[in-house]
Amino acid sequence: MPIRKANIITERAGVNYVCGVVESNNSIFKEMDQRHDYGHDAFVLLVEGEQVLPKEVAMQIKSGSSYCTPTTCKIPATAGHLAFWAGHDLVTLGVVYDPAENSAHWVDLQAEARARTRGNLPRTGAIIEFPKAEWNRLDVHMFSAFLVPTLQGKAPHIELKTSISWARSDDLDTHDLGVKILAARHFREPDMWSTLLELFRQRDPSQLTPRVWLSLVKIVGHHDDGGSYQDTSKEIKQAVLREVLGFGPAELAKLLFHVDDYGFDRPSNGYSLMSLLGARFDSPKIIAVIRDSPAFDSETRSKAALLLAIQEHDPRWFGWWRKDRN
């Protein structure tokens, strides 16, 4: 008597779920014949509204409880799979369908494979594990609001409340993503800026994406470009500037944490940060407090000492960064 394996039902459930999500968004799902499955189960031609985009992605779909936990997903990969995904012309998304939850989550398999190959052929396979997060959930809404714009290199269409929630996440990837969306989509909203300032003041700098201080630099203005966020209201800009001008040793020490090995030369993190580090007429005094206080770690104090040495050598250059002039 012929035998039909039970796992075929589970496998089809995953493919059918993904197909349903894609086609509900008017995109085109093209399933591969299993005889020609060498690491891709399907291809998706993206459609935005009714506009067919010049963008196609590949998918590797896994389905079943063996690929899931309540909080994570995993995709096993051979050395051949890693080399194939890393070198392929198309972005490959790995999708895991959890039948118990009737949900799916995705990961960028091409990026994961390239991180593991580093330009060389991998000698062994790997288990690619990734979290079940809100942002990488594959459903009808997140496909159009998040995945399609992300695959085009655009900021996702995520509402302000959700973006703030992500920005406050303890997961660093979710935190970074939330701040990125806030800065790209919601820079006209006062709540966006109050959230960034709250995060900056409350978080340890190691748990803070550099996108936070980059956004602050852009709105208060940089010596090179005079400031970004031109569509932001004057009231919001003035409110943020007042906060920046109130930064004391604790805040400037957090900024110094992000100064890299290039110091304050142009271009570098340190150079970009000067709009915040040198914003006040008495910024050198505040930095001297950091340099001289044992309350700060030795690396931060060394960076403060370097900046003061630069200020003493060229006070005029340091004065360029002041934002407290009328």
Asked if the model's pLDDT at residue 268 lies above 80, the reply is: yes
| Per-residue pLDDT, 122 | 67
- Whether pLDDT at 25 is above 70: yes
Higher-confidence residue: 124 or 61? 61
Q: Tokens 């890693």 sit at which residue?
A: 82
Q: Which amino acid is at 251?
A: E
Give the model's confidence band at 285: pLDDT under 50 very low, under 70 low, under 90 confident, else very high.
very high
* Mean pLDDT, residues 216-231: 76
pLDDT band at 20 (very low <50, low <70, confident <90, very high): very high
The mean pLDDT of 207-221, rounded to a whole number, is 94
DSSP 301: H
Q: What angle do CA 210, 213, 217 make, to 5 degrees?
A: 130
How many C-beta neighbours within 10 Å does residue 111 have? Answer: 13
Q: What is the pLDDT at residue 1?
A: 53
Mean predicted confidence (pLDDT) in 298-304: 97
Tell me the two tokens of residue 104: 């799916």
- pLDDT of 201 > 70? The answer is yes
Taking 60 as the threshold, does the pLDDT of residue 2 lie above it? Answer: no
Span 179-194, pLDDT tens digits:
999 999 999 999 999 9
Query: Is 80 exceeded by the pLDDT of residue 251?
Result: yes
In this predicted structure, the answer to whether residue 303 has a pLDDT above a threshold of 70 is yes
- Amino acid 18: pLDDT: 97
Cα gap 216→182, rounded to integer Å: 12
Per the prediction, the chain carries an average pLDDT of 91
| pLDDT, tens digit (0-9, with 9 covering 90-100), for 47-105 | 998 999 999 999 999 999 999 999 999 999 999 999 999 999 999 999 999 999 999 99
Helices 249-257 and 283-292: crossing angle in degrees, nearest 10, is 80
Residue 260: Cβ-neighbour burial (10 angstroms; 0-12, 13-18, 19+): exposed
Please compute, for residue 119, the number of CA atoms within 13 A of its CA located in the half-sphere on the CB side: 0
Q: Which residues pair with 130 in a beta bridge?
A: 73
CATH 3.10.310, domain 7-149, yes or no: no
| pTM, rounded to two decimals | 0.87
Instruction: Give me the DSSP letters along 52-79.
Output: EEEEEEEEEEEESGGGB-SSEEEEEE-H
Report d(CA 67, CA 61) in Å as an integer.
Answer: 11
Evaluate if residue 125 carries a pLDDT over 90. no
According to the model, what pLDDT value does residue 190 have?
Answer: 96
For CATH 3.40.1350, the residue range(s) in the chain are 7-149
Task: State the span(s) of the chain assigned CATH 1.25.10.
Answer: 154-319
pLDDT above 60: residue 142:
yes
Residue 67 near residue 128, CB atoms below 8 Å: no
Options 1.10.940, 1.25.10, 1.20.1050, 3.90.79; CATH of 154-319 = 1.25.10
- Residue 136 CB partners (closer than 8 Å, separation 6+): 105, 106, 107, 130
- 301-305 average pLDDT score: 97
| pLDDT for the residue numbered 267 | 85
Share of the chain above pLDDT 70, in %: 92
Structure tokens at 129: 């594990």
- When pLDDT is cut at 50, 70 and 90, the band that residue 3 belongs to is very low
C-alpha dihedral sign at 201, 294, 285, 215: negative
Spatial CA neighbour of 206 closest among 163, 252, 262, 258: 258
